[in-house]
Chains A and B, each alone.
Chain A
């Protein structure tokens, strides 16, 4: 199963990753190899098999609607590279 360079570029954009031409080439080869291996799964007929998203079958885990204290704003912002007016700052976005 080959994954083309243009597919790698599309996926990279979706994943917000940047690669050089060389890296794209290498990634295309590596992913193709991994997918070849993963395609082993196609040996199995799973037509009538239900998918398992949660291995432990529990349901209805809720919390009550109770307000708990939030974090002090200094702590909210403490790891941010750019802040202004109590907010996180990002490059200008035109909406």
Chain B
């Protein structure tokens, strides 16, 4: 029997407001524990929440970017459960009347695009953080308690782990574009839960759903789903049944394992939050928010192809991140070859970002600095390969390329007399290669060029080196 998977994704994204959702405490990440806490977010007896207007605006902006219907009338509800990270023992969230619903994302699949439905987006408050290191108990830090979140729930339209991955990449890029979230998974500002069930192809009843947790990257989501789908099919094929449960992705072992659940009974006793009044988003307000929407990734990609003549592939990679696209555009508008800029962004820059796990706006390189570097290459001040060395230095120190070249003496040797002296030395020291070359082996020339480069620590002008070698060898 052939099986197919039915996958749903729940994404929590922290909103980029300055203050928390119900009080004036800062949302800044990484401060000392319990230093961004006040009577309201600590849930002290008698305190009351007041909704941050920007939270509504950001959620509506995300909803519009994700093609959602914006509710005219919406309200907040209490979700009741006990856990030490939840100071009031209820989370203020939205239950039956979320701000946004019925949206979609288009992802690319083999042979076209596929539309993945977005069931709802609602606003809610984040919980605090539990720490388990260096103590015999557990410690609670409430700095994060009350940071605004949107929860984006997909329809179960996703049928493969690859589609799940594509959905997440696209969703992240849209959230970044709309500037409602910085989507940093390593700081927890983007969190993904997924559920998956399998069923025989051709049937319509849904199988038993398994929830997956501890997914720290989009790749982890994809791998966990791949493993889990295989596991479920195997259980069914062996005549077993799937038990509804929450499983945890074990990255090291590459498997999913059953998880101890927080609350035995999931009876959250939702009811309308009496301390907060309904939210009414009028047509005018909605249109005002719509005006703040920037150009979305798909539109930007098309424009980069026509305006900058980028190949389709380059345009797609560059526009997948708004920060990357903005960086590109600042360079491309001041430089003669957009393609060279895109090569640098997709090559050296992407490699270093990937290696260091940093974001483009977290490194000290500015678009102007990159252009300056490219112009040094154009003007033959340095070679292309030296440029990579200089770039790496820029990446880590933020120094100006010109200064790096001077400090490290990386200026290209384009002085004919000096270079000819080195070329002669190399010819003298490598009689075997010279002989080979003269016998007609072109490869030997390459070796000799390499030797010149070695001698000059890569600073020799490649064209001139070639020219001088041929001259000297033909003597």
**Chain A complexes with chain B:** yes
Contact assessment for A59 and B18 in the assembled complex, using a CB-CB cutoff below 8 Å: no
Residues in A whose Cβ lies below 8 Å from that of B25: 67-68, 70
A49 adjacent to chain B (CB < 8 Å): no
Task: Please tell me which one of the listed residues A10, A53, A64, A85 contacts residue B139 in the complex, with CB atoms under 8 A apart.
Answer: A85
SS class, residues of chain B in contact with chain A? loop
CB <8 Å contact, A73 and B34: yes
15 pairs of residues in contact across A and B, judged by CB atoms under 8 Å: A54-B278, A59-B278, A63-B53, A67-B19, A68-B23, A68-B38, A71-B39, A85-B139, A87-B34, A89-B135, A89-B137, A91-B137, A92-B132, A92-B138, A93-B132
Residues in A with CB closer than 8 Å to B55 are 65
6 smallest CB-CB distances across A and B, nearest first, come from: A68-B24, A87-B139, A62-B53, A65-B54, A53-B272, A88-B140
B138 touches A61 (CB 8 A): no
9-residue interface stretch from B172-180, B228-236, B263-271, B297-305: B263-271
Q: Are B274 and A53 in contact (CB under 8 A)?
A: yes
B residues 1-38 in Cβ contact with A at 8 Å: 17-19, 23-26, 32-38
- How far does the Cβ of B278 sit from chain A's closest Cβ, in whole Å? 5
Chain A CB within 8 A of B346 CB: no
Decide if A71 touches B38 in the complex (CB within 8 Å).
yes
Q: Contact partner of A61 among B37, B51, B264, CB < 8 A?
A: B51
Asked if A38 is at the interface (CB within 8 A of a chain B CB), the reply is: no
Chain A, range 62-95, C-beta contacts under 8 Å to B? 62-71, 73, 76-77, 82, 84-95
Chain B positions within 8 Å of A88 at CB level? 34, 84, 139-140, 142
Interface residues on A, range: 35 or more
Specify the chain A residue showing the minimal Cβ separation from B269. A14
Query: Given contacts A64-B53, A77-B34, A87-B33, is CB(A58)–CB(B277) below 8 Å?
Result: yes
Q: How far is the CA of A91 from the CA of B138 in the complex (A)?
A: 6
Complex contacts, B26 vs chain A, CB 8 Å: 67, 70
Task: Flag whether A60 is at the interface (Cβ < 8 A).
Answer: yes
Closest Cβ of chain A: how far from B80's Cβ, in Å? 8
B42 within 8 A of A: yes
Q: Of A14, A54, A61, A87, which one neighbours B274 at CB under 8 angstroms?
A: A54
Interchain CB contact under 8 A, B50 and A62:
yes
Give Cα A73 to B38, complex, Å.
9
Query: Residue on B with the closest CB to A10?
Result: B265
Residues of A within 8 A of B138 (CB): 89-93
Q: Tell me the smallest distance from the CB of B444 to a CB of chain A, in Å.
A: 64
Known contacts being A13-B265, A62-B50, A70-B36, is A95 close to B19, with CB within 8 Å? no
A85 touches B37 (CB 8 A): no
What CA separation (Å) do A92 and B36 show in the bound complex?
A: 24
B340 at the A/B interface (Cβ < 8 Å)? Answer: no
CA distance A77 to B199 in the complex (A): 52
Within 8 A of B (CB), among A2-54: 10, 13-14, 16, 53-54
B84 touches A90 (CB 8 A): yes
Given A14-B269, A85-B33; A94-B260 close (CB under 8 Å): yes
Q: Is B403 among interface residues, defined by CB-CB distance under 8 A?
A: no
Specify the chain A residue showing the minimal Cβ separation from B42: A76
- A51 — nearest CB in chain B belongs to which residue? B272
A38 to B404, CA, bound (A): 81
Check if A70 sits within 8 Å of B18, measured CB to CB: no
Q: Complex: how many Å from CA A95 to CA B23? A: 29
B82: CB under 8 A from chain A?
A: yes
- Interfacial chain B residues near A93, Cβ < 8 Å: 84, 130, 132, 138
**Please, which residues of chain B bring their CB within 8 A of the CB of A86?**
32-35, 141
Query: With A and B bound together, what is the CA distance between A52 and B137 in angstroms?
Result: 44
Within 8 A of A (CB), among B111-137: 130-132, 134-137
Q: Are B264 and A13 in contact (CB under 8 A)?
A: yes
Contacts of A69 in B (CB 8 A): 24
* Best-surrounded residue of B32, B51, B136, B138 (most CB of chain A within 10 A): B138
In the assembled complex, B52 has its CB within 8 A of some CB on chain A: yes
Q: Most chain-B CB neighbours within 10 Å: which of A68, A73, A76, A86?
A: A76
Q: By the criterion CB–CB under 8 Å, are B51 and A89 in contact?
A: no
B280 an interface residue at 8 Å Cβ cutoff? yes
B135 contact from A16, A70, A85, Cβ within 8 A: A85
Question: Is A62 a contact partner of B24 (Cβ separation < 8 A)?
Answer: no
Beyond contacts A86-B35, A95-B260: 6 other A-B pairs, Cβ-Cβ < 8 A, are A59-B278, A61-B277, A66-B24, A67-B24, A87-B141, A89-B138
Q: Assess A92 versus B53: contact at CB under 8 Å? Given A67-B24, A71-B37, A76-B37.
A: no
Measured between beta carbons, the chain A residues less than 8 angstroms from B332 are none
Q: Which residue of B lies closest to A68 (CB)?
A: B24
Q: How far is the CB of B2 from chain A (nearest CB, A)?
A: 37
**Residue B56 is within 8 A (CB to CB) of chain A in the complex:** yes
Which residues of chain A are near B136, meaning CB under 8 Å?
Answer: 92
B293 at the interface (CB under 8 A from A): no
Enumerate chain B residues within 8 angstroms of A92, measured Cβ to Cβ.
Answer: 132, 136-138
Decide: A59 near B38, CB < 8 A? Known: A67-B19, A67-B25, A85-B139: no
Cβ–Cβ contact B52 & A62, under 8 A: yes
A76–B18 Cα distance when bound, in Å, is 21
CB distance from B33 to the nearest CB of A (A): 5
